[in-house]
Amino acid sequence: MPKGIEKTLRGCFHPKGGKPNLKKVPVDMVRARQHIDKANRNLRAMKMMFDNDLFDWTIICGYYAMYHAVLAALFNIGIRATAHYCAIAAFKEFYIEQGKVAPEYMAYIKKAKHLEQKYAETLEKAQEERVIEQYGVEILTDDDAQWIIEDAKDFVLKIEEVLA
């Protein structure tokens, strides 16, 4: 596990003086399915926003579609996340990185396959853009938002395949 991810995950599971943002829980396929359903609703909202020239909200909805897919993937392996950065760090470790994981997760990792690195990069880019667009006042064009339309759909679809 890369040093930065290890430190982040440790802090997310065992924070000093606070509630953990990552917690081991029983595998919960019902919650996983609910997050996939929410991801798909966000994909529909993303498309509606794009079609109505609301490009800032296109990016925000695309990010949340991918984020809810990540939460679904984590419930699939028995992890509940309550902070975005912790969810993304856990997703990278348990689904992307080739590093060592606790034996209890090996079966889930094999079942889930390893997602391509581009999906982690897409999620990080969407998070950065979401923060900029949600709190900024810049005017966006369709070119600024076009990239997320297919990437978010591909990301959610890939997570659905993993959970199948």
> Which residue segments constitute the domains of the chain, with CATH numbers given?
3-163 (1.20.120.330)
pTM value surpassing 0.85: no
User: Which run of H or of E encompasses 51?
Assistant: helix 29-51
Q: How confident is the model at residue 113 (pLDDT cuts 50, 70, 90)?
A: very low
Q: Which two tokens stand for residue 46?
A: 């993303």
Range from 29-43, 50-64, 99-113, 137-151 carrying the lowest mean pLDDT: 99-113
Residue 137 pLDDT: 61
Q: How confident is the model at residue 133 (pLDDT cuts 50, 70, 90)?
A: low
User: Half-sphere exposure (CA, 13 Å, Cβ side) for 2?
Assistant: 11
State the Cα angle at 106 between 77 and 16, rounded to 5°: 60
Which has the higher per-residue pLDDT, 142 or 1?
A: 142
